[in-house]
A and B are shown apart, each in its own frame.
Chain A
Amino acid sequence: MSDGNYFTRDRSWHPPAYTPSYKTSVVRSPNKALISFPPTLSEQTGPVFGHNILGELDNDLIHNFAQPGESAIGQRIIVHGRVLDENGRGVPGALVEFWQANAGGRYRHKKEGYLAPLDPNFGGCGRTITDAEGGYRFRTVKPGPYPWPNRQNDWRPAHIHFSIFGSGFGQRLITQMYFEGDPLIWQCPIVDTIPSREAIETLIAPLDMANTIPMDARAYKFDIVLRGRRSTMFENRPEGN
């Protein structure tokens, strides 16, 4: 194994479990302290996914649920970036999954009650695997903001959910991507679970005109950072191992 143990996760950078303005967290937040131990093989290893799982349209949400010859309605965008570790190294071979509401802010889900209509040509899920430099990209429509039951009038900013696997299960992460310039970001109780503005800014994707496809789709750049791992040269190991 070329990778050493993880950097300690900075829990003060992440949202705490208990965030009363996001009401659902109140009864779903552990009260007791998390217990720490040195990372074991259970955290250092993790599932690996091969390109054989990917279908041709998995990274194209405009078409992967659409009828032949049709496409999803909405603002066409490319989302691209790199999966990095805290050392700034690209993470190759990482499975990245994403899901989102349609252009009107409606999810294709049994428990979704927003009155905005479903798009018959939009499912809302996609996935890809990072290349040798940790790069990834996919095509979709820009999701709409949507209201949600929390306080009387809470709206989620437009966002895309991301699930990322690193090289070990200890790097497992789920997060959300927001869009540059959306005023709802600063009014959202879920965004606000993140303690610092500096940390929130790292989830806001800028418009990337350089990578826009003229007359077709605008681009947004979203880099994702997973926990770093030390170099293995001086790892503390029992004699003989």
Chain B
Amino acid sequence: MENLEAIKEAVNKGKRKEIAGLVQTALDNGTEPKVIINNYMIEAMKEVGARFEAKKIFVPEMMMAALTMQTGLDVIKPLLEKSGKNVEKLGIVVMGTVFGDLHDIGKNLAILMLESAGFEVHNIGENVPAATFVEKATELNADIVGLSSLLTTGDPHVKETVAAIKNSPLGDKVKVMCGGAAVTEKFAVGECGADGHAVDAIAGVKLAQKFVGVG
């Protein structure tokens, strides 16, 4: 148990160099991989998210925690694959920054957090036209599309992209969530018709979980 708490602590504090050894020891001691993931790693990430929301930690600490978790998962994944059980994916997310906007850090942080929460995330980059969002979401059979927009100049493109997705054959089969400093709930949901708005990466994870029915 002490070792398992150390895994949680390692994710919490972003001790990437320690996590692989700790996870391996836990596995050697007979701990079920899913127990390590669900009870310790994901729990740690929830605590990290809460500290980020409370402005106790910032972007580098969040990135470090998410990468630490991914390093731990890299130890577990081959075992799960070998036993025919893959790491459970909560859903497929396509994420990009809307056309006209080249900012990437907020989007990349959201991607790390979504991956850590168990989503398969496809980063389609920055300055992404509406048609590309539709194309990629269709090609990848996405459950969720995430739009990031840091500048208010992106507002027309957020609107255009949401409309393009909703008016495509994807329709309401895919949920659309919007985030970034320029986007408000009123604008994203009220004016553009998105399914949800997230004020930050943590809120984005909670929203995505809600969309796939695990929130």
Q: Is B a genuine binding partner of A?
A: no
Residues of A whose CB lies within 8 Å of any CB of B are none
Residues of B whose CB lies within 8 Å of any CB of A are none
